[in-house]
Chains A and B, each alone.
Chain A
Amino acid sequence: MALRNIRQMGDEILKKKCREVKEVTPKIKQLIDDMLDTMYDGNGVGLAAPQVGILKRLAVVDIGDGPIVLINPRVIASRGEQTGDEGCLSLPGKAGTVTRPYYVKIEAWDEDMERFEMEGEELLARAFCHEIDHLDGHMYVEKIEGPLHDAVYEEEE
């Protein structure tokens, strides 16, 4: 297990557009593993490569149903909307209200560079949008309605 250093908001790298991944080299495989470890370590449900300082179109997501690796992901359809609080590992302790589509369909490539499509609703749709935004140099704070506020985490019993 290797944890990578998470870049914090203000870091110029988070504002840059990422480059496509052409092939999954051993280095990329290692990066994916490290990103998953880093995401789980931070109790995140998604992490994009630029957040660990790598300007590649690559993200990982796990909303509790197992890890999803997204290479060169793109939203190809969306529907409805949901409004709610969002947080980001690059801005710990804060949250802000963001409206996202309720449903999105994405296309992406997996670790064997096989193309796949995937649909998501609610949290999964939100996570897809949030991570894909990172790959284009955007943070959720650009989209918040109302002020950024201190995060209150739900406690488990």
Chain B
Amino acid sequence: MIDMGSDRINSRELVLDVLLAVTRDGEYSHIVIRNTLDKYRYLSKQERSFMKRLCEGTLEHMIWIDYVLNQFSSVPVNKMKPVIRCILRSSVYELKYMNAVPVSATCNEAVKLAQKRGFRNLKGFVNGVLRNISRNLDAVVLPDRESKPLEYLSVVYSMPIWILELWQNSYTMEQIEGFLEGFLAEMPTAIRVNPLKTTKEELEKELKAVQVQVRETELEDVLFIDNYDSLERIPAFAAGKFHVQDLSSMQVGLWANPPKGSYVLDVCAAPGGKSLQMAELMQGTGRVEARDLTEHKVLLIQENLRRCQLSNICAIQADARKLDESILEKADFVIADLPCSGLGVIGKKSDIKYKINKKSCEELAALQREILHTVGQYVKPGGILIYSTCTINPGENEENVAWFLKEHPEFYLEKQQQLLPQKGICDGFFLAKMGKR
């Protein structure tokens, strides 16, 4: 017989390709993972969730994993061939966090995969390192917590040291450890009921009928869901009966709470969660303009609009940095949820922590100022500007607000808040509500 290879789509090999795409080719993990799951949608739910967990877990814990590998491998991680490095990383994750997988299975699959990818000569190396780690996993020596607290947190929670240093200026070690725990905890998906299509009770019933786990939250019309395969397979999602939006980002709508008939301008709107929330809060009256920079992002918004069939909202392609004179002082509410370093959503997009650096944080802060300066001019006197980011970085948040208020004395600060990530509940998020005199 000849092995055609195609009968066993090897889930570990798919994971390897995801890890290579993210760590070697610099692609975004959530996009690569989603595309892979989309492509192999015929795989069983078990295999799909195994793959997803292995990809996300490996990326989340990568600093710790590399630290362990460096203790047991004669070749340092950064000197390994990318294929071997990625195979070893996901295998160490399996050894540590997937107790249902036998150690022998992890090692054998890793060896087979190395061979399949043309590294027959490294089979012994892969096997040796993994067997050694599996026997000594409990004996890993961590950096000393007392004398090197940052190194310790960095390894245990796989967080680059420079981010910890950034937070150290504003938060205590206990608070920082709290965020770090929050990022690593399982996060349920928060969904907002579309009140124009259904009620919370009906939606709950409908979701439970298709075996989705549903939990109440402290917010009205918001539920946590769990144990579903993909959103597109939930009929109620396709019918626009709910939207996915993190609890923290929902605060934007709650802070704005636009009265019926308002003109709301969302300047960086994709994928459109906040715009939809506003449109629903106004119960189909008034007008919401959801703008974003690229055609792709506008298409994303439109896709979400189509599901919900609201008539008071439209998507427009526009560069938020360029002044649109036709809407000067026209908007009752301007929502500026701007591009940011994303340090608050590391729990969902774990590769952010490896991709972003100090310099890009500074560039983003400058971009945010430029956009705020422009879009502030769209607010009509008596109107409201809400600035938000999904990051925890004073340079992009509080300092930018202070800068804006100083440059634009016609604005006053109503309130601002840095929401911190909470274990299993929400992301880190910042928002500031400013009124125009």
Contact = CB atoms under 8 A, between A and B. Distances in A.
Contact of B4 (A46, A84, A122, A156): A84
A88 B2 CA distance: 5
Nearest to A133: B1
A61 B3 CA distance: 11
Contact of B1 (A64, A82, A130): A130
B3 A63 contact: yes
B1 A45 contact: yes
B7 A84 contact: yes
B409 interface: no
A64 B115 CA distance: 9
A133 to B, nearest CB: 9
Contact of A122 (B1, B8, B117): B8
Contact of A87 (B1, B112, B117, B118): B1
A43 B2 contact: yes
Interface in B1-58: 1-8
Q: Is the interface of A mostly helix, strand, loop or mixed?
A: mixed
B83 interface: yes
Given A64-B115, A156-B117, A157-B118, A86 B4 contact: yes
A46 B117 CA distance: 21
Nearest to B117: A157
Q: Is the interface of B mostly helix, strand, loop or mixed?
A: loop
Contacts of B322: none
Given A64-B115, A122-B8, A157-B83, A89 B2 contact: yes
A85 B1 CA distance: 11
Contacts of B7: 82-86, 122-123, 126
Interface string B110-138: 00100111100000000000000000000
Contacts of A64: 112, 115
A156 B1 contact: no
Contacts of B117: 156-157
Contacts of B8: 82, 84, 122-123
A123 B116 contact: no
B116 A45 contact: no
A45 B5 CA distance: 11
B277 to A, nearest CB: 45
Given A46-B1, A61-B1, A154-B5, 4 more contacts: A82-B7, A84-B7, A89-B1, A127-B3
24 contacts: A42-B2, A45-B1, A64-B115, A82-B8, A84-B8, A85-B5, A85-B7, A86-B1, A86-B4, A87-B1, A87-B4, A89-B1, A89-B2, A122-B7, A123-B7, A123-B8, A126-B7, A151-B2, A153-B4, A154-B5, A156-B116, A156-B117, A156-B118, A157-B83
